[in-house]
Structure 1
Amino acid sequence: MNLQELNAYAIAGKVDELNLISLEGGIYLLEARMHGAAYPLSDIHGGMFRLRSVEHARDVLQACPELPFNLVHTSVHDEMCGLGPSAEESLKVPIHFRSVWAR
C-alpha cells in the first residue's frame, strides 16, 4: 500500500488503526491495520517506506484524517528493565496523531 492508497482507505473509513513500528537503528515503518490484517506502507519504488521519527510520520500523514495511532516497539525486553529475553510481546503505546506542539 502506498501513501495515496492509505489516504483513500482512511477517508473511506476502512483503516482501523495505524502502527508506527520502531526498529533497531532508529528506523520506523508504518503499517495500516484493516479488518485484522496489516498492510505495510511502501515507497514509490515498492520498497518499505522508512521514516526517521514519530514527527516525520506525522508530517507524512498530514493529509490523512485522524486515526488511532500507535507506536510499536518490537523487542520490549530490550527497552524495559526487569523483562527477560524470552518476552516476545510487542509494546504498543497509543500516541497523538497530530503533534502536541502544533496545537
Structure 2
Amino acid sequence: MTLEELTKHADAGSIDELNLISIEGGIYLLQARLQGTIRYLKGGEGDVAHLRSVEHARDLLKDFPPLPFHLVHAVVHDEMCGMPVDKREALRVPISFHSKW
C-alpha cells in the first residue's frame, strides 16, 4: 500500500495498528493491520519500502491520527546461535508517533 492509501485508511479509522518491523541491517518495514489483513508500506517502484529509523517512520506518520504503534524486533538469539526455534513471541514495544523519548 502506498503512503497515500495508508493515510486514507488512517483517516477513515480502518487501521487497527501499525508495526515498525526491525530487520537485521538497520532496515525497518512499516506494517499496517487492517481488519484482519496485513499490508506493508510500498515505495514508488511497488516494492516494500525500507525505512531508515524510528524517526524516519515518525516523520512519515506525523500527520496521522493517534493509532497503536509498535516497534517489533524478532528474537534473533536463537537464529544466531543455531538453537531450535521455540514459541517465543517477537519483542513488541509501544512507541509514540510524536515523542522522541
Q: What TM-score do the two structures reach when normalised by structure 1?
A: 0.84
Could you tell me which amino acid in structure 2 is paired with residue 36 of structure 1? Answer: G
Where does residue 69 of structure 1 map in the other structure?
A: 69
Offset of residue 45 of structure 1 = 0.9
Partner deviation per Cα, 1:51-77 (whole Å, 9 max, x = no partner): 111011000111221211000112x14
Where does residue 13 of structure 2 map in the other structure?
A: 13
Measured at CA, do residues 35 and 69 of structure 1 come closer, stay the same or move farther in structure 2, by a change above 3 Å?
Answer: same
Q: Specify every segment of 5 or more residues in structure 1 that has no aligned partner in the other structure, as ranges.
A: none
1:2-81 alignment runs, 5 A limit: 2-74=2-74, 76-78=75-77
Report the count of equivalent residues.
Answer: 96
Report the secondary structure of 1:51's partner residue.
coil
Q: What TM-score do the two structures reach when normalised by structure 2?
A: 0.85
Offset of residue 100 of structure 1 = 3.7
Could you tell me which amino acid in structure 2 is paired with residue 64 of structure 1? Answer: F
| Distance across 2 between alignment mates of 1:24 and 1:10 | 28
Report the secondary structure of 2:8's partner residue.
helix
The answer on whether the counterparts of 1:31 and 1:40 sit within 8 Å (CA) in structure 2 is yes
Report the secondary structure of 2:64's partner residue.
coil
| Distance across 1 between alignment mates of 2:58 and 2:20 | 10
| Distance across 2 between alignment mates of 1:85 and 1:77 | 11
The answer on whether the counterparts of 2:31 and 2:38 sit within 8 Å (CA) in structure 1 is yes
Q: Specify every segment of 5 or more residues in structure 2 that has no aligned partner in the other structure, as ranges.
A: none
Q: Identity rate of aligned residues, in percent? A: 55
Shift >4 Å, 4+ stretches = none
Where does residue 86 of structure 1 map in the other structure?
A: 85
Coordinate RMSD, CA, aligned: 1.8
| Distance across 2 between alignment mates of 1:77 and 1:28 | 15
